[in-house]
Each structure stands twice: as C-alpha cells, then as structure tokens.
Amino acid sequence: MTDYLDIDGGRIAYDSIGEGPLVVLSHGIGDRRQAYRFLAPMIAAAGYRVVNADLRGHGDSSMNWVSATGKEAISRTDVANDLLAVIAELNAGPAIIVGHSISGGAATIAAAKSPELVRGIVEINPFTLTQTPSVGAVFTVSRYRRGMFALMGTMMFKSLGQWQKYLNIAYPTKPADYDEYIAANTAKLSEPGRLAEFMKTGKSTPADAQAQLPNVTQPALIIMGTADPDFPNPEAEGKAVIAALPAGLGSLGLVEGAGHYPHAQSPEQTADLILPFLKEHAHA
C-alpha cells in the first residue's frame, strides 16, 4: 500500500513493511522505489521496519518541484531533506538510510545535517563525489565507454531509448523479471511530465554531498558493484568516498560482477553486506 507525506513543495510516496528499527530506502534517478523489490523484504524479514520512498518527481511522488534555490533541478540536498522529513514524520527514528546513486549522496547530506535522525548510512554505487570523465578509460574500459555514451544520449536527447540502452549495460546480468520491470519503468517515465522530472536530476552535481562528507559522524557502508559502467574503477571510487569521510567511519563492500544496480541484480549478495551493518549499528 502506498502512503504519502505532504511536505513543502509537494508530496513523497512511500511504502512500509516489517517491524523493528527503521531503515529508509531511497532509489536512484530514472527509477522507482520498486528497484528495492527484492532487497526490502530481505531486510524486513531480518527484523527491521523498512520504509521505501520514491524520489521527488519519480514513481508515485508528485512532480513540478522547485529547489530551495529556485532552480529546476533535483539535488542531493533536496532528496536529503525529503528523507529527513519522512523520518521525522514517522517518529520512528533515528534511521539507517540506504541510498543508491544520487541518493547515496543524499544519505551523506542527511547524516551530516541531522545526526539525531540518522544512525548510519549505506551508499550503493553512490554519486557522492564530483566526477571528471576519464578520457583514458573511454578508450580502455568498454563498459565505461558504452555506459557513458548511453547516459549522455539519454540526457542530451531526452531519450528513453538511450536510457533503456544504459540500463541494459548497467545490469550485466538480469533479474528474472527484468523485461517486465523495465517495461513498467518506461511506462512510468512516459507519463506526462515524468521525463522532465527525470531530466532535472541531470542538472545537479554531487558537490553538495562531497562538501558534507567531512561532517558525517555516523558509520557508513559503501557498496560497489565491480562491473558498474558509471565509474572507470568502482572499487577505487568506493575507497575515495571512504577516504573523504572522517577516519574510521567508512567500510567498503564489493558485489562481484554487479553493475550499477546490485540491490536488484544481486540482492542476496547485497543483503549479505547490509544486514551485518544493520545488526551492528541500527539498534540503540
């Protein structure tokens, strides 16, 4: 069942399963909360209340958001504020935030801004550091070259076909329901206004998240799929995020052979990394 939280500027859709310490899930760009359709039940079954939220402009959340600065962009700070509002409204925190891609950076900001609401963070293949395209890797790393060109085509031409091409690269192996899931996701993005909201995410940068990394005081788990086409070296990217955190806070988990979506492509392996972190840090 979908619940909604009305906040300044719109409303956030979410669902909730399980009982126990609060874990809040937040997906990446051009996706829906159903990206966690495999992982959320695993976490709930381990004894947690799992709240799975749609990004602003995505899924069943409302559209036509304007950021605090008045720009037509969906920033990590915006997403962080939405997640904090959900945690505060539920009055069940502090929570562990699990954020994928753009939401990894949002988790960083939420933890730094409101440590009383955030007990720890898990960042899955996060865009938390500012990126500089690697010209060398374009020539030497095939998955990176193909992924970058498909992403560029998505944003430049506002093309769902290019987005589907990117997703095919970003899932080196496919879950059993991949075709059905991608069709449903494409249908959602084809609704009036949804593609424009998706495009807003491409106008923001991770600079706000990177600036907050030194201010995080809670434990952080960074999970990287080793075959992620978004980074020339996913393991090195994960280590760089940890290095930017205060010493001793970050740890790295790798999902071998997974692309940008290990929580959907390899949910069991992802859960094997997340559940011990939750057991150690989610309880008072």
Domain encompassing residue 59 = 3-281
pLDDT band at 65 (very low <50, low <70, confident <90, very high): confident
Digit-coded pLDDT (tens) for 201-258: 988 999 999 999 999 999 999 999 999 999 999 999 999 999 999 999 999 999 999 9
pLDDT at residue 143 is higher than 80: yes
pLDDT band at 47 (very low <50, low <70, confident <90, very high): very high
What is the crossing angle of helices 142-157 and 160-170, to 10°?
Answer: 160
What is the CATH classification number for the domain harbouring 36? 3.40.50.1820
- What is the number of structural domains in the chain? 1
pLDDT at residue 154 is higher than 90: yes
